[in-house]
Amino acid sequence: MSEEKAPLGDERMQTMYRDMLRIRRFEETAFELFEKGEVVGGIHVSIGQEGCSVGACSTLRDDDAILTTHRGHGHSIAKGTRLPEMMAELLGKATGLCHAKGGSMHIADVSKGHYGAHSIVGSNMPMAVGIGLAFHFEGKGQVAVVFFGDGAANEGSFHESMNLASIWKLPVIFFCENNHFASSTRVQYATSVADISARAAAYDAPGVTVDGMDVLAVHEVMVEAVDRARRGLGPSLVEAKTYRYFGHSRKDPQFGPYRTEEEWNEWKAKDPLLVAERILGVSEAQKKAHAEAVENELRDALAFARQSPEPAPDEVYEDLYA
């Protein structure tokens, strides 16, 4: 459907494609480093879900806010977080975004409007409502986008947050990445509705389901939700149907026992990068140029992270609040 709509300018579309590739290659690299023991702590990759993060964040201003989850590398990169400091955070270095106190699952970059990755499932939604309330009072038209999974949509915090955002008409967009699994639990097993977006009706807000493998379709749906939020008309619920190619985390095997290789292959045929190449009009020469630029950027980011010092032991209590 998005193929029939007027395209964005070529430069913007090329940037969207490159951002998706940056996310894919950053996460592939980070996962390899994790398996070798170089990335400390846990890691959850969003490979397969790049159409969601880039489609959503490509509609935002620098001064808009995002909040993400344990699976948040893609949202961070799409919102503008730099790769060197992000890689350094994963490697537990002093130059990391959170001085090595966050790691993969708790990255934050407030300078880019990134109010944190939050690993307690559902915990970021009440925070997004608080940020939305601040934006409402400030009156500068800023919006807050909170990313969460299908599993989080069954948490009480989702319902409470949607309700409060709706009665106060706050500029909050609830962006559910329905990748069909919460750990090993298939969405249909644990969720009362076929489309999570249907739940918006209970909070008198627009709810829309979109193909999360199609970056342009996500972008288009988000343009409407963002516009509504900026105009003071309140929250929206966007559900992007997508798929994670990797297991939930390292301990989880890729295919099962909760899914089959056949299903995995069906989704891989709709890979968001392949779809983007087609609908954004990325030529072979442009693909090659993007790939080279991304490899160079990653190489530099990794070199920066590796050369950075470990945090000093006497800094352990700095930046902590209790």
Ligand X SMILES: Cc1ncc(C[n+]2csc(CCOP(=O)(O)OP(=O)(O)O)c2C)c(N)n1
Q: Does 151 bind ligand X (CB under 6 A)?
A: yes
Which of 119, 166, 197, 308: binder of ligand X (CB under 6 A)? Answer: 119
| 26 within 8 A of 84, measured Cβ to Cβ | no
Which of 48, 51, 116, 149: binder of ligand X (CB under 6 A)? Answer: 149
Q: Does 120 bind ligand X (CB under 6 A)?
A: yes
User: What CA–CA distance (Å, rounded) separates 92 from 311?
Assistant: 8
β 181-182/172-178 pair status: unpaired
Q: Locate 127 and state its tokens.
A: 């925070």
* Choice between 41 and 141, CB closer to ligand X: 41
User: What CA–CA distance (Å, rounded) separates 113 from 139?
Assistant: 16
How many residues contact ligand X, by CB under 6 A?
17
What is the SS3 assignment for 39-102? CCCCCCCCCCCHHHHHHHHCCCCCCCEEEEECCCHHHHHHHCCCHHHHHHHHCCCCCCCCCCCC
Draw the binding track, 236-255, toward ligand X (x: CB under 6 A; -: no contact): ------------x-------
* Choice between 85 and 211, CB closer to ligand X: 211
- Residues 6 or more apart whose Cβ sits within 8 Å of residue 183: 151, 248, 252
Binding part of the chain for ligand X, among 58-66, 75-83, 179-187, 297-305 by CB under 6 A, reads 179-187
Instruction: Work out how close the CB of 195 gets to ligand X at its nearest, in angstroms, rounded to a whole number.
Output: 15
* Choice between 113 and 151, CB closer to ligand X: 151
Instruction: Work out how close the CB of 196 gets to ligand X at its nearest, in angstroms, rounded to a whole number.
Output: 10
Provide Rg for the chain, Cα atoms.
19
Instruction: Work out how close the CB of 57 gets to ligand X at its nearest, in angstroms, rounded to a whole number.
Output: 17
Q: Does 70 bind ligand X (CB under 6 A)?
A: yes
Which chain residues interact with ligand X by CB under 6 A?
69-71, 119-122, 148-152, 179, 181-183, 248
